Chains A and B, each alone.
Chain A
Amino acid sequence: MASDVLVLVEHIDSELTDTSYELVGKAKDLAGGWNGEAVALALGSVDTSELAADRVLKMAHPSLDNYTPEAWLEALHAVVQERDPKLVLIANSTVGMDLGAGLSGRWGKPIAAYASAITGEDQDVVVTSQVFGGKLLAEAVIDGGQGVCTVIAGSFPGEAGKGGGATVEDLTPPAALGESRTSFVTTIEPEGGDVDITESPLLVSIGRGIESEDNIELAQEFADAIGAAVSASRPITDAGWLPKTRQVGKSGMKVKPKAYLTFGISGAPEHLEGMRDSDLIVACNIDENAPIFDIAHFGTTTDLFDLLPALTEKVK
């Protein structure tokens, strides 16, 4: 086993994602402790000049340009086999949800998913993962000190992964890439229109605690009274009660308003990913143990059905 930490970087429209830099920064930190290298693997065409990894491995092939899980796993696995890194870091994104467990199964090494912290204790890899909807953290050791880790976006600073200076190596794609059973058809880009919640300085954000579509009016009235937009957690947009453009989180929008006021949102890691950097967060949730209170600046366990009308009344 080598002592390297390998990061699979991701890109959208040929630009690296923020998380890619976060993971490379962490990889440098960890690899330093093990006297190994921080190695970034870039599949398909992407500008990696800003990455501060020790080494950047590039692999180009027509089947890697548009992401498919099968081709990317094939390529990643081939590189992992060849280089035998100590640890592989992948974002807990759609790509990471495909490839993290996929690589673990294929490579026969453990995976720790939903990681928010990783430390090296001598040769051991200790991972802290968010489980049970963020209500609990699990601290686990990867047996044998070698494996995969999928990491929640925003867990590490991105700055440490920036600055360039890596040695770049071009890799030969594995032959099996030509035999993929999965083919890319098309990309569907985000729809415009509706309110742009990323632009609104004030957001009143509702979750499953609102219970029904009719009750959304309670939030809308308060939002109107203070000049805010209404945003939501995923179950609300999944149910079609608000358009998808209002969804905050991992698979929705990333927002950073001056104030983010939540009503009936539990604070699952996937939601927090989209709003944790808001200047002021005030949370209303009847469950005092709801994880949203670990990130909110102010909180209340008042019932939202009492609080929202009271708020609207006061502002009017």
Chain B
Amino acid sequence: MADMIVLLRQVPDLVEELELNDDSTDVEREFMKFVLSEWDDYALEEALLVKEASQGSVTVVALDDPDVDQVLYTALAKGADKAVKLTGSEEGWIDSHQRARTIASWMRNQTYDLVLTGVQSVEDIDGQVGMLLAQELQHPHVSVVVSVETKNGSARVTQEFGGGRFSELDVQLPAVLGIQQSRQAPRYAPISRVRQAQQAGGLEEVPTEVSGGSGLTVRRLYAPESTDHAEMLEGSADEVADKIIELLRSRGLIK
């Protein structure tokens, strides 16, 4: 049995064009589309799998990120037992150090065995939240985890290294895990059930104070300079195909 807390976070949707703010120190967040960080989605799935295998509970928690209610209700519809929104953060780029501090201050009053969150996010320039949180709470931690099993006060986790190498570790609980992948693809919550969850309400809102900071001063964001940008092949699909084949032929790579 394990009582789990899953940290969720909204991030800019990379499918959209990323515009910069006036002084180029952040992306322009005002009209941007936000989505659940994909690794947090894996973390939620893995927690739900652990709960199914060995009982316990799943609480999802998030800061007041853009469109976060929808994400929390979706988590409830998927089988999370409780959803908590930590309010009080300013709009804008909330760095990992601030997130970890804020969540830690709430967690000090909670009981739990295991904390799961995505191994990274696309904007955590000051490091991964899970590992910072573990330091705040002085728990052991493992990141790049692809499988979790709990038993008798510990978790057996599989940690991934490159090139198909893994290792298995036993960690005493409570512990914090950075999830790289879930054993199954994240489940889908039918829209009707998400709506039901929304109508039932039950999002717990907890006012918090965001404190601390990354200790980094971002001078500027910019798109990678295009000095070695690809030479673009123009034309119809047919014409482009001809050009690609010519590239391969001229190098003697195909006949």
Name B216's contact: one of A12, A140, A227, A299 (CB within 8 Å): A140
B96 at the interface (CB under 8 A from A): yes
Query: Which chain A residues (259-294) contact chain B, with CB distance < 8 Å?
Result: 259, 261, 266, 280-283, 287, 289, 291, 293-294
B140 at the interface (CB under 8 A from A): yes
Binding stretch for chain A, among B78-86, B167-175, B195-203: B167-175
Query: Which chain B residues (211-244) contact chain A, with CB distance < 8 Å?
Result: 214-224, 226, 228-234, 236-238, 240-244
A81 at the interface (CB under 8 A from B): no
B108 at the interface (CB under 8 A from A): no
Interface size on A, as a range, is 35 or more
Chain A residues closer than 8 Å to B206, beta-carbon distance: none
Interface size on B, as a range, is 35 or more
Binding stretch for chain A, among B2-10, B50-58, B155-163: B155-163
Binding stretch for chain B, among A24-32, A34-42, A182-190: A182-190
Q: A69-B143, A98-B141, A258-B251 are in contact. Are A135 and B18 (CB under 8 A)?
A: yes
A45 at the interface (CB under 8 A from B): no
How far, in whole Å, are A69 and B42 apart by their CA atoms in the complex?
21
B47 → A minimal CB distance (Å): 18
Instruction: Type the 1/0 row for A244-262, where 1 means its CB is closer than 8 Å to any CB of B.
Output: 1100001111100011010
Binding stretch for chain A, among B59-67, B68-76, B124-132: B124-132
A155 at the interface (CB under 8 A from B): no
A242 at the interface (CB under 8 A from B): no
Query: B141 near A187 (CB under 8 angstroms)?
Result: no
Chain B residues closer than 8 Å to A137, beta-carbon distance: 221-224
Instruction: Name B's interface SS.
Output: mixed
| 8 nearest CB pairs, A to B | A105-B135, A101-B127, A190-B164, A110-B215, A299-B230, A306-B237, A101-B131, A310-B241
Contact residues of B with A, CB < 8 Å? 12, 14-15, 17-18, 27, 96-97, 100, 119-120, 122-132, 134-136, 140-144, 156, 158-172, 175, 178, 180-181, 185, 214-224, 226, 228-234, 236-238, 240-245, 247-248, 251, 253-254
Can you show 21 pairs from A to B with CB atoms below 8 A apart? A67-B167, A98-B141, A101-B127, A101-B128, A101-B135, A110-B215, A113-B127, A131-B221, A139-B222, A143-B217, A147-B215, A182-B169, A190-B163, A226-B248, A226-B254, A283-B230, A294-B226, A298-B230, A298-B231, A299-B232, A307-B237
A185-B167, A289-B17, A307-B240 given. 13 additional CB < 8 A pairs? A70-B171, A100-B127, A101-B129, A101-B130, A109-B215, A113-B124, A113-B128, A139-B222, A189-B164, A261-B244, A280-B251, A300-B234, A310-B241
